[in-house]
Amino acid sequence: MRRIVLLFCGITTFFVSMVSEAKAQATVTATATAEVIEALTGRETAQLNFGRFSPESQGGTVIMSPDGVRSAQGTVILAGGTHNAASFYITGQYEASFSITLPLGPQTLTNLSNSEKTIQVGQWESFPVQGIGVGILTKGEMTVLIGASLTVGDMNANPVGIYAGTYSVTFAYN
């Protein structure tokens, strides 16, 4: 019994001395860092151009792929002349990843001779594909290609003329 009491007293003394040395607070000096990087920039180097075509009796669709291949559906007849996908030159921080956001829906092109006549551009595609972290700025630069589909009516709905309009593409660091 005497040994148990002595053992108990020894343990109690040990813990009391530990508690008396414990502090109620601690101050730690920590480090914070930040890095400012180059602004992400983009410029259009080639306009999206569906080229020349005739909608004929029923109209249809002119498709421009991101790699510049043009095709038609419906009664649309493709003609010669220049056509190409849009091209954007993107620059920024070396090896940074970025996102591409294409227009959410159709955009309108208006006949420059007759503002009542319009054509819709939709089904947007890009290379690299749209999304988060899809582009990598290899050596701080990258070219993004964009294609889309042009929906046209017949010759009455879409008479002869040049149709033009704008659209927005967003490029952002991740």
Rama region for 66: left / alpha / beta (φ>0; ψ in -120 to 50; rest): alpha
Q: Which residues share a beta bridge with 88?
A: 44, 144
Distance of CA 114 to the CA centre of its chain: 34
The answer to whether the predicted template modeling score (pTM) of the entire model surpasses 0.85 is no
3-15 burial: b if 16+ Cβ within 10 Å, else e: eeeeeeeeeeeee
What is the model's pLDDT at position 151? 97
pLDDT at 161: 95
Q: What is the pLDDT of residue 22?
A: 60
Nearest to 68 by CA among 140, 126, 3: 126
pLDDT tens, N- to C-terminus, the chain (174 residues): 555 544 454 555 555 555 555 678 999 999 999 999 899 999 999 999 999 999 999 999 999 999 999 999 999 999 988 999 999 999 999 999 999 999 999 999 999 998 899 999 999 999 999 888 889 999 999 999 999 999 999 999 999 999 999 999 999 998
**What pLDDT does 75 receive?**
96
Helix (H, G, I), strand (E, B) or coil at 80: coil
Q: Supply the Cα-derived Rg of the chain in whole angstroms.
A: 33
